Amino acid sequence: MGLRINTNVSSIGALRNLQRSDAAQQGSLERLSTGLRINRASDDPSGLVISEKLRAQIRGMEQAAENSQNASNLIGTAEAALNEVNSLLLDIRESVVFAMNSGGNDPTQVDAEQDSIDNALRSIDRIAQTTRFATRSLLDGSSAITTANENAIIADINVQSATFDDMTTTSQTYTINTALAATQVDLSAVLGGNFGTFISSAAASSVRLTGNLGTRDISIQAGATVAQFDTAINTFTSETGITSTAGVMTSVEFGSSQEGKVEVLSGSIVTSAGTQVVGTIAEDVGTDTTGTINGIAFSADGFNLRVVSDVLSADIRLADTAADATAYTFDVENKGLVFQLNQSYSTADREQVGLKNVSTSVLGSVTRDVTSQNGGTLTIGGFLTSLTSGETNDLNTDSANALRIVDEAIDEISDHRAYLGAFQSQTIDTNLNSLRVGIENLSASESMIRDLDFAKESADFTRIQILYQSGIAVLAQSNLISQSVLTLLG
C-alpha cells in the first residue's frame, strides 16, 4: 500500500459520491417542494414534450367548455325572448278570431282589439331591437346568416347554420337543382278517369267538392258558362281549399299534403273529357318538389324546401312558378354567430348559426295571388306589419288574411325556437359533457407523466439522506488517512 500526502484519492472518491448524493438530495427536495416530477426539461425530455402537448390541449378544452357555456346562455337568452314573441302572437291571433265574429260584436269592440294588436306589434319590434347578450343584439337581424344574389324564383330563405372551410371566405354559392317541381291537385287532369276542364252545364247540376279544408256541395245552374262555374267553385274556396280558373279546378296550395275530389251528385255537366253524369268521381293528390342543394337531397312540402346537413341547414321557399329540372342559385354570406366549441381550428370544432330577425316587417309570409270568388285575383299572405291600423290586413279590412299571416308567423317562431332548443340540448350541452369527460381523462394522463408520486419520492429522499449523511462521515474519515503518514516520521 502506498501512502501519499499530496493526493488523497480516497477523499476525492468520497467527495465525488457525496456530491452525487447532494445533487440527488437537492433534486428530491425540489420535487417534494413543487409536487412535480418534471421541473425542467433535463428531468425527462420526452415526458416534458408530451405533457406540454397535453397541457395545451387541456387548456384549450377548458376554454372551449367556457365557450360552450356562454353559447348556451346566449341561446337561452334568445329563446326566452322568442317565447315572449310567441305569447304576443297568440294574443294577436285571439284578437283576429274575435274580429271575425262580425255577427256577435260591434265596431267599438273591434277597434279595441285593433288597439291591442297595434300594441302587441310594437312590443314584438321592441323585443327584436332590445334583446341583447352583453352588447350583441340577437333578434334584429344583425346575428342572422344572410344571403345574397338569390335567383328570382327563390321567394324566401332562412339559413339556420352554415359551415365555411376558410373563415376568411366572404360567401359560398349554393345551387338548388330541382328534379321535379311541386304540383297542385288538378281535378281536370286526373290520370285514369279524366274529369276534364268544365265547358258548360247541360242541366242544373250539383257537385260535391272536397279539399284539404273541407267538403262542400255546390249547385251549378243549367247552361252555366265557364265564368259562372268558376264563380260557383271559388265562392267556397275558403271552405274547400279548391279554386277554379277557366274551368280548371286546382288546390290553392302545392304539395303531397294537398288532396282533392269532385263528384257529380245530380244532373250532368260537359267537360273536355265528355259529359260527366251522376256518380262520376275524380280524385287527385299534389306532389312535392324533389332535388338537391349542392348534391344534398332536401325534403319538401310543396315548394317549401328543408335542407339539413353538416354544411348547411336552411328553410327555402320557391315561387309557384319554379320548374322541373332547373337550377336556382343563391349565396350564403359568412355572417351570424360562430361558436368555438372545441380546441382546434377544424370546421368540426366550431358551429356557425344564425338568429332570425323577428321584426314585424319580416314575420309572416310572402304574398301570393289566387283566383277570387268573383273570378278576379285575390292577394293572400303578407307580413305582420300589414295588421297595423289602416294597413291592408287590419281587423276592419281583411281579418281572414290577417289570420293566415299570424298563423304563418307563429309557425316561423315555433320552428326557430325548436331549432335553437335542439342546438342547445343536442349540440352545446352534449359537447359540454364530452369536453368535461375529455378534460378529466387528459388531466389524469398529464398528471401521470408530470406530477410527483409523494410516497415513492419520500422513500427515495430518506435513502438519499442516509447516503448523504454517510458520505459526509466517510469523507471525514478519508481526510484522516493522510495523517497516518506522521507515524512514519516519528
The pLDDT tens digits of the residues spanning 29-43 come to: 888 888 888 888 888
Distance from C-alpha of 241 to C-alpha of 380, rounded to nearest angstrom: 13
Q: In this structure, what C-alpha cell is assigned to residue 379?
A: 292577394
Q: Which of the four pLDDT bands, split at 50, 70 and 90, describes residue 375?
A: low
% of the chain at pLDDT higher than 70: 95
Mean pLDDT of 390-396: 88
Predicted pLDDT of residue 367: 67
The pLDDT tens digits of the residues spanning 169-178 come to: 899 999 999 9
Q: Which of the four pLDDT bands, split at 50, 70 and 90, describes residue 57?
A: very high
State the average pLDDT for the chain. Answer: 88
| Strongest mean pLDDT among 72-81, 266-275, 480-489 | 72-81
Q: Are 62 and 393 in contact (CB under 8 A)?
A: no
Distance from C-alpha of 462 to C-alpha of 453, rounded to nearest angstrom: 14
Mean pLDDT of 75-101: 94
34 vs 427, higher pLDDT: 427
For residue 318, pLDDT beyond 90: yes
Distance from C-alpha of 348 to C-alpha of 436, rounded to nearest angstrom: 18
For residue 329, pLDDT beyond 90: yes
E strands, 319-427, in order: 327-333, 337-340, 350-353, 364-371, 377-383
378 vs 270, higher pLDDT: 270
Q: Are 168 and 345 in contact (CB under 8 A)?
A: no
Predicted pLDDT of residue 12: 84
Predicted pLDDT of residue 376: 56
- 8-state DSSP, 357: P
The pLDDT tens digits of the residues spanning 408-420 come to: 999 999 999 999 9
Mean pLDDT of 220-243: 90
Mean pLDDT of 340-363: 90
3-state secondary structure of 230: helix
Predicted pLDDT of residue 377: 59
For residue 193, pLDDT beyond 70: no
The pLDDT tens digits of the residues spanning 430-482 come to: 999 999 999 999 999 988 888 888 888 788 888 888 888 888 888 888 877 77
Mean pLDDT of 16-28: 84
Q: Which of the four pLDDT bands, split at 50, 70 and 90, describes residue 295?
A: very high
For residue 370, pLDDT beyond 70: no
Q: In this structure, what C-alpha cell is assigned to residue 208?
A: 260535391
Distance from C-alpha of 211 to C-alpha of 196, rounded to nearest angstrom: 18
Of 331-345, 364-378, 416-430, least confident by mean pLDDT is: 364-378
Predicted pLDDT of residue 122: 96
| Residue 76 identity | G
